[in-house]
Structure 1
Amino acid sequence: MTNSLTTPQLVLGTMDHGTRVDERTAFRLLDRFVEAGGFWLDTANCYSFWTDPSGLGGASERTLGAWLRANPGARSRVGLATKVRQDPLVAHSWPASAEGLSADAIRRGLCGSLDRLGVDHVDLLWAHAEDRAVDLAETVAAFGEAVAEGRATRIGAANHASWRVQQARGIARAEGLAEWSALQLRHSLVQPRPGTTVPEQGHKMLAPDDLDFARSEGLALWCYSPVMMGGYTRADRPFSSGYAHPGTDRVMAVLAEVAREVGATPNQIVLAWLMAQGISPIVGASRIEHLDEALGARAITLSEEHLRRFRDAR
């Protein structure tokens, strides 16, 4: 798989590695993903403090670091993407102790990530969420510094308003610094009612304007929670209440029809649909069969007729 940011492709999310997913299983998933031609691995310095008994982040990065050490040569075959902003500085005290996006916090956060991963740079460094308590110019300068010093190859913004990203890009351009060139938001085939707040704190939904912005500016666009935590196929994991509206019913009906016609699973169709929009979906699998299912979406090409039916249903 290409290492290009702008080419839509499956990204392996490693949020639960080292916590809900034990190291042995994590290694098997990482091995399988790379063997199948996968390239991008997505983590964050805060993963996953909410499930780690310590109440602190770092488990995912430590697990990735252990896998890299156990697999000499693997570093050249994968792209490492991590995030700073949300790591709690005090155990079991979030968001009150979240590190934020000050220059010092970014430097410390990235330094910690590189140490846990056992590498001298990451291929993509994300600002995990906004921090409006810090002047944007300070944040932009710190991210630019990370690129200038070779500790990050590319930089991006997750869970940010598009206007803030564009403002940051303008500041970087004026100062001769590296610009945020990627955007990461929550997105899937089904959409909640306008104005609905999803239960997951801090998630920012991709809006049509965000997609338009990314395309017009040539930004890479990644999305998380693409298969809605199993909601498309598992009765025990229903969509949250904000998704209870006629549009969801119409989309689900079309999804079932298209899956039958193509001979694929609903999850594979959703992933193929996202990639057809130019979006790279981040898939967090905890079992090999689930990862294999996701990887199978790469072979699916949806017709213009399929895409039109989804547009009409939404």
Structure 2
Amino acid sequence: MVQQLPLGNTGLKVSALALGCLNFGSRTNKETSYRLLDQYQDAGGTFLDTSNNYAFWNDGCVGGESELLLGQWMKERGNRARMFVGTKVGAQPTFPGGGFENKEGLGRKAIEQAIDASLLRLGTDYVDLYYAHVDDADIPLEETLETMDGLVRAGKVRALGCSNHSVSRIQAAQKISSDHNWTSYSCIQQRHTYLHSNPGADFGPQISADEELLRYCESHEDLSFLAHSPLLNGAYTRQDVSIPEQYEGPGVQARMRILNEVAVETEGTLNQVVLAWLLQNTPTTISLIAASSSDQLRENLGSLDIRLSQEQLERLNRA
């Protein structure tokens, strides 16, 4: 059964493993998407993560496909009230065929238009968590935060989050929200896994979590930490998937050796140990798990049964 964790200081609780729905309704067809959603729900999971721009880069897609499928699934299952739905604004191209360089951004008009379009696709009158998807240096933080707070006051959004933001921008945003008594960000979602990304590694519009962000989240209970891409698209276990070059470096072999040792000791898979380490380490990390098959999802959910000892955690951290 998927355990529940607090989301910042909102009073809301979310599943310790969120189901990433990026390819649902596009690369992952309707039948498979429904099967995975049903399986996740049957395991006690409630936290669905999507975005208004998922997945415009897939063949034949313009963005919104994932939200649309989730809306259809929740309507057919009659389970909207049981699900905790998070979606995002800021990175959807403003015209079909556009790329991230043509993103809508985080201005007032863009946010207000985007939330209504997302609600329509999701078939609901509110989302549980609304993220500022990528930082927008061209728009004053005050404008973004005031607009997002307005969505909370209007009942369209229950909690706010951000992703792909630096620590300095998060700190600035939290101070502005506090000074104006606006709803503040309750979580940050960033790329993060067991292997360390190289300093300055380029992930395009994404930002990888660094030590500064992890320490910030550790010392600020009002900001939960969420990790996307924790399993590096299968690179830990699949022979046909290489470790991304952004993670290649002198420390990889040492960390992989310890990871393999702990996997043997716990009788878990490498993927399960990575997810268990993220959850049981500091700061506590809510991972987004993505799956394209029932077996993958079953393996990921099985990470919740792995109990790492303090000694194992220390070995994993020291490697």
TM-score (norm 2): 0.94
- Out of 203, 206, 218, which is 1:215 matched to? 218
- Out of 77, 81, 90, which is 2:95 matched to? 90
Q: Are 2:245 and 1:245 aligned?
A: no
After superposition, residues 274-285 of structure 1 pair within 5 angstroms as: 274-277=278-281, 278-285=284-291
Structure 1 position 266, deviation (Å): 0.4
- Out of 288, 292, 297, which is 2:294 matched to? 288
SS across alignment from 2:161: strand
Q: Is the Cα–Cα contact under 8 Å of residues 4 and 15 in structure 2 kept in the other structure?
A: no
- Out of 66, 75, 100, which is 2:72 matched to? 66
Moved more, 235-244 or 156-165: 235-244
Aligned partner of 1:45: which letter? Answer: N
Structure 1 position 240, deviation (Å): 1.9
- Out of 5, 8, 16, which is 1:9 matched to? 16
- Out of 191, 195, 207, which is 1:190 matched to? 195
Structure 1 position 39, deviation (Å): 1.5
Q: Which residue in the other structure is 2:175 paired with?
A: 170
Cα deviation, 1:154-190, whole Å, max 9, x if unaligned, reads: 0011000111111111111111210111111000000
Q: Is the Cα–Cα contact under 8 Å of residues 112 and 147 in structure 2 kept in the other structure?
A: yes
Runs of 4+ more than 6 Å apart: none
Distance 2:265 2:213 in 1: 31
Cα deviation, 1:105-142, whole Å, max 9, x if unaligned, reads: 01111111100000010110000010111111000101
Distance 2:87 2:251 in 1: 34
Aligned partner of 2:179: which letter? Answer: A
Structure 1 position 3, deviation (Å): 6.4
Distance 2:65 2:59 in 1: 8
SS across alignment from 2:148: helix
Distance 2:77 2:54 in 1: 22
Structure 1: gaps of 5 or more residues: none
SS across alignment from 2:6: coil
Structure 1 position 96, deviation (Å): 3.4
CA RMSD of aligned residues (A): 1.3
Counting aligned pairs with the same residue, the percent is 36
Cα deviation, 1:255-314, whole Å, max 9, x if unaligned, reads: 11110110010000000000012000001101011000000001111111111111111x
Q: Is the Cα–Cα contact under 8 Å of residues 5 and 16 in structure 2 kept in the other structure?
A: no
How many residues get paired? Answer: 309
Q: Which residue in the other structure is 1:125 paired with?
A: 130
Aligned partner of 1:281: which letter? Answer: S
TM-score (norm 1): 0.96
SS across alignment from 1:96: helix
Call closer, same or farther: CA 1:62–1:8 in 2, change over 3 Å.
Answer: closer
After superposition, residues 142-153 of structure 1 pair within 5 angstroms as: 142-153=147-158
SS across alignment from 1:237: coil
Q: Is the Cα–Cα contact under 8 Å of residues 15 and 46 in structure 2 kept in the other structure?
A: no
Distance 2:42 2:26 in 1: 24
